[in-house]
Amino acid sequence: MSRLRTSSGRGTASRVISGIGALFAFIEVLYILMIVLGANQGNAFFKFVQSLAEPLALFFPGLFATGNYNLDVFLNYGLAAVFWLVVTGLLARAVSRY
């Protein structure tokens, strides 16, 4: 019985980690869509999403400077979204195995 509880606990932790990564990636993708589709940047919801997306983007903003603002946002914040999915996926896999 003890082994079963430990295993399901690892599975739950793995799902939580994956869920957090998906949430972080969703925030980044939402921010990208709001920029590319021309959302009102003075809107409170936009500012809220921006306040979440910018810190989650870590060191990626400014990594690509193509001269096209929308493309820069897509590349930099999109790369941050992929980063969160990959890192949390690896962490979830590690937690579920050990």
Condensed to tens digits (0 to 9), the pLDDT of residues 46-86 reads 999 999 999 999 999 999 899 999 999 999 999 999 999 99
- The CA-to-CA distance between both ends of the chain, in Å, stands at 18
Quote the mean pLDDT of the chain: 90
For the whole prediction, is pTM greater than 0.75? yes
For residue 43, CA distances in Å to 46, 47, 76, 94 come to: 5, 6, 23, 40
Q: Please, which pLDDT band fits residue 2 given cuts at 50, 70 and 90?
A: very low
pLDDT of residue 8: 66
